[in-house]
Amino acid sequence: MDVEIISQEEPANPQFTVADLDIEILPVIYDILRSIEKDPHDSQKAKESADTSQKILELKSKLESARAQINKLPGIEYSKQEQLQKLETLRQQLRLKKELIQKYRNMCTFDSQKV
């Protein structure tokens, strides 16, 4: 619920999510392998090899784009355990701060003897 609110509140900075990823590498490799494994006729060979090298280039760019997209993904700077630990720390911090505020608010009683 909160997550939705936040994502709605920040339309200027849309976050890149896993759903937006386009890193299907296997089909590209499959395509390359299939095009090489074909036993082409000599006349077609030149054309096929050009096609294959094109596909290899495509694979390279796909891998590069996969790396770039992974780098754009938010919240994966830590491993999941570390992240959960940090989340817990934040919760703890928030709890302590709330307690402190409560303490400050209830401080209006004065001990006249101390004064």
CA 89/CA 95 separation, integer angstroms: 10
Residue 11 touches other proteins, criterion: CB under 8 A? no
Contact flag: residue 97 with other proteins (CB under 8 A)? yes
Contact between 25 and 59 (Cβ < 8 Å): yes
Residue closer to other proteins, measured from CB, 39 or 43: 39
Q: Which of 39, 42, 105, 106 binds other proteins (CB under 8 A)?
A: 105
Q: Contacts with other proteins: how many residues (CB under 8 A)?
A: 50
Could you give the C-alpha distances from 75 to 16, 41, 64, 78, 79, in angstroms and in order?
10, 51, 21, 7, 9
What would the two tokens of residue 71 be?
């780098």
Q: What angle do CA 36, 40, 42 make, to 5 degrees?
A: 125
> Which residues form the interface with other proteins (CB under 8 A)?
2-3, 6-7, 15, 17-19, 21, 23, 25-26, 29, 32-33, 36-37, 56, 59, 63, 66-67, 70-71, 73-84, 86-87, 90-91, 93-94, 97-98, 100-101, 104-105, 107, 115
